[in-house]
Copies of this chain bind each other. A is one copy, B any other.
């Protein structure tokens, strides 16, 4: 099966059962996870490069495609399929707000500097170009919608600027036309921690600590106060505070699944993102969260005010930047509504 005709086949679970029982009645099953080689011109590179895009494309056969992209640490596995859990299972699936009975979801693993060769910086526009090239490869003239959270929203805005006809609607959750300078400061420190660990040889310790710092920016202050207002414990020669133990565990968990160079590259890509919000002409839902300290409501209000055809929605939540993962009811209702409009 070549990429050119891939879109004419149904997306199947590639289980043994499906193969054995139905293979002779159905078209050849198309794996939900696949790769495509596409050509892009990196913003910070001098020449075009071929990159291998790892993507996920899954849902009802021949149904309209909805692109979904999350934060820098999210993978293409948006929803459960073939035994893998997805990072947005509450919102994407059969009968869910992004209903796979009548939609197909498409997502890529973010490109990092190593994918572009020569270690050049990756831009949100590079990711958008790659997505456009993937739409070409899959024979999709226009995705019904693009739903992006955090960095995914930034890439969606870049895509809306670069190739507005390729998406029918944009849902931008907790991601704006630029990184807020205070958030840039906190990520610059995370990158400095990681570079320090690479220099000293303690990469795991440094990446874990950088992740700890990132975690402090993902949740609202109120939630921290509710969960961790307790006395410290004295052990191993010093006091350990409850919040410290929580962050330490989260940091170790992250190190097991993420790479330091990829982290440096994607973290920088957020801070390099800067698009002209007035150039966003695609119908757009901008979703902000009251307690988000990383992407403050002021920036998202400004985006919605300046973009040509945007509606601003604000979710009152204690979950800060992570609300797109936690406030599934309210985010789901906005997603379902956006999809019903296009």
- Chain A residues with CB under 8 Å of chain B are 121, 178, 180-182, 184-186, 188-189, 192-193, 196, 200, 202, 205-206, 209, 212-213, 216, 221-222, 224-225, 227-229, 231-232, 238-239, 241-244, 247, 268, 271-272, 274, 293, 296, 298
Contact = CB atoms under 8 A, between A and B. Distances in A.
A196 B224 CA distance: 25
Given A241-B271, A271-B241, A293-B221, A228 B189 contact: no
Nearest to A246: B185
Given A181-B228, A182-B221, A293-B221, A189 B272 contact: no
Which of A121, A181, A238 neighbours the largest number of chain B CB atoms within 10 Å of its CB? A181
A227 B181 contact: yes
Contact of A185 (B182, B224, B271, B293): B224
Nearest to A296: B221
A181 B243 CA distance: 7
**Copies, count:** 2
Given A213-B213, A221-B180, A224-B182, A188 B241 contact: yes
Given A181-B243, A184-B228, 16 more contacts: A121-B239, A178-B229, A181-B224, A181-B225, A181-B229, A182-B243, A184-B244, A185-B212, A185-B247, A188-B243, A188-B244, A189-B212, A192-B212, A193-B209, A231-B274, A293-B293
B192 A243 contact: no
21 contacts: A121-B239, A178-B229, A181-B224, A181-B243, A182-B224, A182-B225, A184-B228, A184-B243, A184-B244, A185-B224, A185-B241, A185-B244, A186-B216, A188-B247, A189-B212, A189-B216, A196-B196, A221-B293, A231-B274, A239-B268, A293-B293
